[in-house]
C-alpha cells in the first residue's frame, strides 16, 4: 500500500476571547494532517497543541515530517499499533503532533472499510452523551450574556471557568439565569488546597456536578487534601496526562479527564479509559480549542465515557471542518452518515 502524506497549519479565530486562570486566547492555532492511499481515499487528523504542555504549531510542524515518514515507510494504514509504537520511538514527546497522525490513520482505516470509526471499534452509537459548553472567564455580566446565548443554542450542560476573587459571584449569577442545566466548574489549578476546600464548601449550594482541577498539577498532595475533604466530586485534568498518571491520581480524584492532545493518540486514549475504569474512576474526555479535524475523532469515544467536554470546535467563529452531528450539544453518532471520524472539509 502506498501512502502519501501532507500537513498545513491554520489560525482559527474564536467566537469570543477565551479566558481561563492562565490567560486569554483569541484564536486557535492548529495543524491538519492528510494521509491519502493509492485509491485516493483521504484520512484527516488535527493537532491542537497547547503551550502549557510544551507544544506549539511550530513544534508540531517541526516533528511531523519525521512522524509521517514512519507512516509512509510502514505503508499499511491498518498497522495502527506498529505505527504508533514507531512514532513514539521516533518522537517521544509532542503528543499533539502524534495525535494528529493517529487520528488521520484511524479516519483512513475506517473509510477503507466504509464504516464510521465507532463501528470500526465495535462500540454502541446509542450509548452517547451530551457535551458540556464552556463559559470562559470574563466580567460577570458578560459571562451572564454568554450563558444566555448558550441556553438559546440548546446547551443543557455548562462548564464554567473559575480562578478569580469573584468565583462565588460568577456561579451565583450563572445559576440565576440557568437554574436547570447540569453545571460543573474548572479552576485550572488556580486555587490553593485550603482555598479550594473553602470555596467548594460554599459552591455546594449551587448544585454542581463536580469540580475540575482545583489545585496545581505539581501538588499531588494538595489534590489529595482537597479530594479527601471535598463534598463534591473532583476531576483531574492537568494532573492526568498519560497512561502512567492514572494510578497516581486514582486515590486523589473521582474522575479522570483525558485529552487526545495530552496523551498522543486514540489507541492511548482507549488504554487510559480502561485503566481508569480498573482503578474505579469515572472518565471524561476533554479537548483544547480545536477544529473538527480532531474533535470528530474524540466524539467516537463517547460510548466509553461518563462525561464529554468536546466543545472545542463550538468555540470557533467558524470551523473549516464539519464533524459528528451535535444537536443541542448531544453527540449523535447514530446520525453520522459518513465513514471514518466524520470530519469533512466544508
Kindly name the residue from 161, 189, 199, 311 that is annotated as catalytic: 161
Kindly name the residue from 130, 189, 237, 311 that is annotated as catalytic: 237
pTM of the predicted model, to two decimals? 0.96
Q: For the residues 46-60, what does the mean pLDDT come to?
A: 97
pLDDT in tens, 56-92: 999 999 999 999 999 999 999 999 999 999 999 999 8
Are the C-beta atoms of residues 288 and 237 closer than 8 Å to each other?
no
- On average, the pLDDT of the chain sits at 97
Topology agreement, domain 4-114 and domain 119-345? no
Confidence of residue 290 (pLDDT cuts 50, 70, 90): very high
Q: For the residues 200-229, what does the mean pLDDT come to?
A: 98
How many angstroms separate the Cα of 233 from the Cα of each of 156, 276, 341? Answer: 20, 15, 32
Confidence of residue 94 (pLDDT cuts 50, 70, 90): very high
Identify whether 186 is a catalytic site residue.
yes
Identify whether 148 is a catalytic site residue.
no
C-alpha cell at 240: 492526568
Report the pLDDT value the prediction gives residue 1, as an integer from 0 to 100. 80
Identify whether 237 is a catalytic site residue.
yes
Where exactly are the structural domains of the chain? 4-114, 119-345
Q: What is the DSSP string of 62-120?
A: HHHHHHHHHHHHH--TT-HHHHHHHHHHH-SS-HHHHHHHHHHHHHHHHHHTTSBHHHH
Instruction: Say whether pLDDT at 38 is over 90.
Output: yes
Confidence of residue 136 (pLDDT cuts 50, 70, 90): very high
pLDDT in tens, 177-198: 999 999 999 999 999 999 999 9
Q: Any idea which architecture 119-345 has in CATH?
A: Alpha-Beta Barrel (3.20)
Q: Any idea which architecture 4-114 has in CATH?
A: 2-Layer Sandwich (3.30)
Amino acid at each position: 500500500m502506498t501512502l502519501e502524506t501532507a500537513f498545513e497549519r491554520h489560525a482559527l479565530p474564536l467566537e469570543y476571547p477565551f479566558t481561563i486562570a492562565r490567560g486569554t486566547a483569541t484564536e486557535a492555532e492548529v495543524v491538519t494532517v492528510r494521509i491519502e492511499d493509492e485509491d485516493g481515499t483521504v484520512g484527516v487528523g488535527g493537532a491542537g497543541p497547547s503551550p502549557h504542555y510544551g507544544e506549539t504549531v511550530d513544534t508540531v510542524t517541526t516533528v511531523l515530517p519525521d512522524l509521517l515518514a514512519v507512516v509512509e515507510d510502514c505503508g499499511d494504514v491498518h498497522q495502527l499499533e506498529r505505527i504508533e509504537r514507531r512514532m513514539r520511538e521516533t518522537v517521544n514527546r509532542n503528543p499533539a503532533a502524534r495525535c494528529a497522525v493517529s487520528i488521520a490513520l484511524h479516519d483512513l482505516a475506517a473509510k477503507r472499510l466504509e464504516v464510521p470509526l465507532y463501528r470500526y471499534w465495535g462500540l454502541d452509537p446509542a450509548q452517547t452523551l451530551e457535551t458540556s459548553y464552556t463559559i470562559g472567564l470574563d466580567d460577570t455580566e458578560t459571562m451572564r450574556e454568554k450563558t444566555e446565548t448558550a441556553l438559546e443554542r440548546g446547551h443543557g450542560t455548562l462548564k464554567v471557568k473559575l480562578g478569580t476573587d469573584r468565583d462565588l459571584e460568577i456561579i451565583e449569577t450563572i445559576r440565576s439565569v440557568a437554574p436547570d442545566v447540569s453545571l460543573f466548574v474548572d479552576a485550572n489549578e488556580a486555587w490553593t488546597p485550603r482555598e479550594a476546600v473553602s470555596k467548594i464548601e460554599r459552591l455546594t449550594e449551587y448544585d454542581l456536578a463536580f469540580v475540575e482541577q482545583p489545585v496545581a498539577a505539581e501538588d499531588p498532595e494538595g489534590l489529595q487534601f482537597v479530594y479527601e475533604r471535598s463534598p463534591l466530586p473532583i476531576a483531574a485534568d492537568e494532573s492526568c496526562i498519560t497512561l502512567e498518571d492514572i494510578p497516581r491520581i486514582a486515590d486523589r480524584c473521582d474522575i479522570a479527564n483525558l485529552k487526545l492532545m495530552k496523551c498522543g493518540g486514540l489507541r492511548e486514549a482507549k488504554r487510559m479509559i480502561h485503566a481508569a475504569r480498573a482503578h474505579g474512576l469515572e472518565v471524561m474526555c476533554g479537548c483544547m480549542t480545536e477544529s473538527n479535524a480532531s474533535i470528530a475523532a474524540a466524539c467516537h469515544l463517547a460510548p466509553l465515557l461518563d462525561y464529554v467536554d468536546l466543545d472545542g470546535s463550538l468555540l470557533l467563529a467558524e470551523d473549516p471542518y464539519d464533524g459528528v452531528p451535535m444537536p443541542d450539544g448531544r453527540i449523535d453518532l447514530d446520525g453520522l452518515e459518513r465513514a471514518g471520524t466524520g470530519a469533512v472539509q466544508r
